[in-house]
Structure 1
């Protein structure tokens, strides 16, 4: 499935959760770096509005569908992909890293969240080793000096997989810089995934997710932050549907 953003193309090239696990296993065992992006409508809004975000996204080799609208658009285009949400993939990705004998790092969120998440995940996943955690300040520049120091440390520690929980667009910018400065590290942008594991945020119940209404659950819990975002997403949906229909034809 491909989404045409301006003059360029963003390919969703990881169609299933199993495809993601296979790609990660191959790259981690080969010590081959990568950047994984989880595209959703909010990302497409940013891709339209922010040229530098588009440049960062172009450095991501692996892209999966993180939102149901992306899945629906892919079906409309007759190029179906499955839902591969970053939050759901954290434990499977870390299990792959542990089995491949590669260490893990966490960048983003807060120190309390990172510590609680790392402790919980190392209890749950045999062989998992979290060798580095970094919780930046709110004004963290994903392309600045602090980011470069963190990336240098990731490379020096021979980290296999780095979970990036900085939120969009910071996490994609950080991962893009990482492809240049820490080329043997795999970067996976996971948004609020560690907050859910640590209990800092409560995720929508499974039945809400099953009926594709997690967005409404999140909007109710954080309306000031998320309602404007979802309005912007709704505004671009007809245009993206038209693009998908043209791909179908």
Structure 2
């Protein structure tokens, strides 16, 4: 499944959670880094507006679908993908890191939230080593000198997996830069995943998520900030629906036109 943003084409190359976990495990074993992005409708809006964000996404090694609308579009395209929210991947990735002896770094949010997230992770994942907790200052620029300094701090800690909780587009931009400066480190952009673990933010109840209404829960919690964002997301859906229908008519690999 892919999404067209002008002349840029963004493919979801990790359609299933099992695919993602197998690839990350293989990279841990080989000592290779990666950048993992979790695309959603808001990202597609931002990709239309920002060449820097498009360049950052082009540098991501692994891309999964973080949003039910993208899952529904993939089914319409005849190329279904699984829903893999970034917040849901923190524990599985931490468990994999613990099994393979990979230290992790927590980057973003606040010192208090990172301390709470580290405590929660170590309680839930025995044997996990949290090598660094880094809360960049307000106004942090991932492309500036501060971005390079943070990446060097991650590398010096010995961490080989960094959870980035900076929000889009900062986390994806930092991950893309990290692939150049610290190629041995894996970067997973997970949004509010650490704040959820620390209890700094409350996530929608499981039933609300099961009903695909987490977006409504979030909007009602902060309508002034999120109403406009979701309106922009809704506005791009018709175009992506047409793109999905075009993909459905295209011959799939291994089929005869």
Normalized against structure 1, the TM-score is what? Answer: 0.98
The within-5 A match list for 1:65-80 is 65-80=65-80
d(CA) in 1 for partners of 2:106 and 2:35? 14
Residues 1:244 and 2:244 are matched in the alignment: yes
Aligned residue pairs, count: 249
- Higher mean C-alpha deviation, range 142-151 or range 210-219: 142-151
The within-5 A match list for 1:76-91 is 76-91=76-91
d(CA) in 1 for partners of 2:227 and 2:22? 36
1:5 corresponds to: 5
1:147 corresponds to: 147
1:194 corresponds to: 194
d(CA) in 1 for partners of 2:30 and 2:224? 44
Shift of 1:115: 0.3
Long gaps (5+) in structure 2: 250-257
1:164 corresponds to: 164
Q: Is the 8 A contact 2:105 2:132 kept in 1?
A: yes
d(CA) in 2 for partners of 1:164 and 1:225? 22
Residues 1:120 and 2:138 are matched in the alignment: no
1:108 corresponds to: 108
1:47 corresponds to: 47
d(CA) in 1 for partners of 2:190 and 2:155? 20
Secondary structure of the residue that 1:154 maps to in structure 2?
A: helix
Secondary structure of the residue that 1:69 maps to in structure 2?
A: helix
RMSD across aligned positions (CA): 0.8
Q: Is the 8 A contact 1:35 1:175 kept in 2?
A: yes
- 1:94-148 CA-to-partner distances (Å, cap 9, x unmatched) read 0001111110001100000000000111111011000101111220001111110
d(CA) in 1 for partners of 2:217 and 2:36? 26
Runs (4 or more) in structure 1 with deviation over 6 Å come to none
- 1:42-64 CA-to-partner distances (Å, cap 9, x unmatched) read 00001111011100100001000
d(CA) in 1 for partners of 2:153 and 2:200? 27
- 1:25-57 CA-to-partner distances (Å, cap 9, x unmatched) read 111121101000000000000111101110010
- 1:160-200 CA-to-partner distances (Å, cap 9, x unmatched) read 10000000011111101101111110000000011111111
Q: Is the 8 A contact 2:131 2:158 kept in 1?
A: no
Shift of 1:159: 1.6
Q: Is the 8 A contact 2:142 2:174 kept in 1?
A: yes
Shift of 1:8: 2.1
d(CA) in 2 for partners of 1:194 and 1:158? 20
Long gaps (5+) in structure 1: none
Normalized against structure 2, the TM-score is what? Answer: 0.95
